[in-house]
Chain A
Amino acid sequence: MSTSEELERLRAENEALKAELEALKRSQQPPAAQAPAAAPAANGGGAACPAFAPWDGMQHGLDKQQISRYSRQIILHSFGVQAQARLCRGSVLIIGAGGLGSPAALYLAAAGVGRLGIVDRDTVELSNIHRQVIHRRVGGEASVGVHKALSAAEACRALNSSILVETYLEGLTPENAVELISEYDVIVDASDNAPTRYLISDACCVARRPLVSGAAIGTDGQLTVYCHGEDGPCYRCLFPESPAAGNCARCVDAGVLGVVPGVIGTLQALEAIKLVSGVGEPLSRRLLAMDCATGRFHCVKLRAKSPACVACGTSPAITAATLPTYDYAGFTGQAAANDAAPAPLQLIPREERITPRQLQERLAAHPDALVLDVRPLEQFNICHLPGAMHTPYKHFDRHLDAIRARLATPGTHPAAAGTAATAGDAAGQDGTAEDSSSPSEQPPFYVVCRRGNDSQRALAALRRAGISQGVDVVGGMEAWAREVDTSFPMY
């Protein structure tokens, strides 16, 4: 055969393999052994090898380029070419392209998992990037505003163009969970909220898929493989009752050291690789709890799955039929919206609240006014209004006396006599808060927080303690930064 004939033959074979790959994708079946082998040729990446070259006596299906790319793990004694071939034929669904999903997706793409699915409905924000390191554009520009799933997929393809990356921009819902999860071999829970964690675990029980579950907040991380084999427990076996909503701190409120989800997400990639390739012992029936602040890695041996479990027990109430209508928000007391602001409270009557714009006017009119900022110290230290008194809401009850003393001490924020001020000002005219401190002799007193919920709770605590002064600022410092002072840094 001449060179041109050979080239023709390879082209035809390449086209046939591409068509086969497309057909497989359409039928939503994991690609067969040949599929990943076809991909390098599809990229036009130099000399393509037919899937089953004569030298492939072992029938592992890897082409020359794949062997070269994955050589360092293929020659690894405990891994080898068959494990790599299973990886190249395998598929992993990563739910969440955030702090955990970033390293998980990159390492799984780099390791050569044949098909990756990435689920996320959010877009990238600047405050994500310190931990969500997958979101970057070529040229160094951060991909703020881009769909996270698309941005992550782009980074995975840039790292390894021979794999297939699929994106799901609608997020995981009770309606689509079982079907979507059934299309992949291994599921990675890289989500960031309790309702989604229960949903993923339930759907993995129904679809019988192993689940690599990771979580991170602050300086803490956790890792477990659920729903593995015949007796591996699920998330509900371990946590049959959802923790109270207030105990499920979110990164947006509690903060997170970027490298912590980085460590856990990397370990999730490791566990997924072990499950897909069949190498090593998965972290099933074990829970790794990591306290990064003290460098403590604590591994707890777990029990087999609970016969009474409503998801994976002997007579589960959660099935393919019931899961789509299960109320996850109701069960956990939390909405699945991640990083979203909590719903605004209406605790303090509207007439005892003012807008940031009104606060600005009143502060201008009364330089002696007292502003009490109840945000956590870390947030107060970023930026606050000049002269603001700081008492975090978290320890509010301990400081009621100090606040009372401050309000009663004319010297600390004088103006005192004659500041009967506020009647008839802007707020009074539009029917909102008239200073409860006026027309007494005390200067105006305002309470602020980040978004206007804790400030109301703080005011309610003051009322309970018999302090009738104080006006709440609707929307807190976030609203102040939006409506009054756009240079005020938010976080």
Chain B
Amino acid sequence: MQVRVLFFARSRELAGTSEASVTLEPGSTTTVLLQQLLQQYPQLEELRGSFVFSLNQEYLAPDEEQQLKGGDEVAVIPPISGG
């Protein structure tokens, strides 16, 4: 199955793209997806612990794990502080 990943702000710079489609085994969870993202984009490691992760436009706590389904959309949103 495929899920869509949106990268915002610094995560977009680190991943080098604003959007990616990730192929996962059916039944994979958000934890598996995050691990796969870190393998695919190791630079994202530097954001660990300080970004908002959302599934289908709903916030997911750092210790939370949810089952994904094909067509789901997740977003990586690190804080920005400029103004």
**Which residues 2-46 of B have a CB within 8 angstroms of A?**
6, 8-10, 12, 18-19, 46
Tell me, rounded to whole Å, the shortest Cβ–Cβ distance linking A321 to chain B. Answer: 27
Q: Are B6 and A296 closer than 8 Å at their CB atoms? A: yes
The stretch from A21-29, A238-246, A381-389 touching chain B is A238-246
Tell me, rounded to whole Å, the shortest Cβ–Cβ distance linking A367 to chain B. Answer: 38
Checking B51, B78, B80, B83 against A190 with a beta-carbon cut-off of 8 angstroms, the contacting residue is B83
The stretch from A94-102, A110-118, A269-277 touching chain B is A94-102
**Which residues 216-251 of A have a CB within 8 angstroms of B?**
216-218, 220-222, 238-239, 241-244, 246-251
Which residues from chain B contact A238 at a C-beta distance below 8 Å?
52, 79
Which residues from chain A contact B59 at a C-beta distance below 8 Å?
287, 300-303
Q: Smallest CB-CB separation from A217: which chain B residue?
A: B82
| A214-B83, A218-B9, A300-B77 known; A247-B46 Cβ under 8 A | yes
Which residues from chain B contact A134 at a C-beta distance below 8 Å?
none
Is A364 part of the binding interface, using a Cβ–Cβ cutoff of 8 Å? Answer: no
Q: Smallest CB-CB separation from A220: which chain B residue?
A: B9
Is A373 part of the binding interface, using a Cβ–Cβ cutoff of 8 Å? Answer: no
Q: Smallest CB-CB separation from A290: which chain B residue?
A: B8
Is A365 part of the binding interface, using a Cβ–Cβ cutoff of 8 Å? Answer: no
Q: Are B83 and A215 closer than 8 Å at their CB atoms? A: yes
Which residues from chain B contact A254 at a C-beta distance below 8 Å?
82
Which residues from chain A contact B50 at a C-beta distance below 8 Å?
239, 241-244, 247
Docked Cα-Cα span, A291 to B47, in Å, equals 18
Interface membership of chain A positions 205-221, coded 1 if the CB is closer than 8 angstroms to chain B and 0 otherwise? 00000000011111011
Checking A101, A215, A291, A296 against B79 with a beta-carbon cut-off of 8 angstroms, the contacting residue is A215
Checking A193, A287, A301 against B77 with a beta-carbon cut-off of 8 angstroms, the contacting residue is A287
Is B68 part of the binding interface, using a Cβ–Cβ cutoff of 8 Å? Answer: no
Checking A215, A246, A291 against B18 with a beta-carbon cut-off of 8 angstroms, the contacting residue is A291
Which residues from chain B contact A299 at a C-beta distance below 8 Å?
57
| A218-B9, A244-B46, A247-B10 known; A289-B83 Cβ under 8 A | no
Is A406 part of the binding interface, using a Cβ–Cβ cutoff of 8 Å? Answer: no
Q: Are A301 and B58 closer than 8 Å at their CB atoms? A: yes
Docked Cα-Cα span, A194 to B49, in Å, equals 16
Tell me, rounded to whole Å, the shortest Cβ–Cβ distance linking B60 to chain A. Answer: 9
Is A68 part of the binding interface, using a Cβ–Cβ cutoff of 8 Å? Answer: no
Which residues from chain B contact A190 at a C-beta distance below 8 Å?
83
Which residues from chain A contact B12 at a C-beta distance below 8 Å?
220, 291
Q: Are B75 and A241 closer than 8 Å at their CB atoms? A: no
Q: Are A96 and B46 closer than 8 Å at their CB atoms? A: no
Which residues from chain A contact B8 at a C-beta distance below 8 Å?
220, 289, 291, 298
Docked Cα-Cα span, A299 to B46, in Å, equals 24
Q: Are B57 and A217 closer than 8 Å at their CB atoms? A: no
| A218-B9, A241-B50 known; A192-B82 Cβ under 8 A | yes
Q: Are A300 and B58 closer than 8 Å at their CB atoms? A: yes
Q: Are A298 and B6 closer than 8 Å at their CB atoms? A: yes
Q: Are A250 and B78 closer than 8 Å at their CB atoms? A: no
- Chain B residues with CB under 8 Å of chain A are 6, 8-10, 12, 18-19, 46-47, 49-52, 54, 57-59, 61, 75, 77-83
- Chain A residues with CB under 8 Å of chain B are 96, 98-101, 190-194, 197, 214-218, 220-222, 238-239, 241-244, 246-251, 254, 256, 261, 287, 289, 291, 293-294, 296, 298-303
The 10 A-B residue pairs whose C-beta atoms are closest, nearest first, are A217-B82, A192-B83, A243-B50, A300-B54, A100-B83, A220-B9, A215-B80, A194-B81, A217-B80, A301-B58
20 pairs, A vs B, C-beta closer than 8 Å:
A99-B82, A192-B82, A197-B81, A215-B79, A215-B81, A218-B82, A221-B80, A222-B9, A241-B49, A243-B50, A244-B50, A247-B47, A249-B82, A251-B82, A254-B82, A287-B77, A289-B8, A301-B54, A301-B58, A301-B59
A sample of 9 more A-B contacts (CB under 8 A), given A247-B47, A300-B77, is: A101-B83, A215-B83, A242-B50, A243-B51, A291-B18, A296-B6, A299-B57, A300-B57, A302-B59
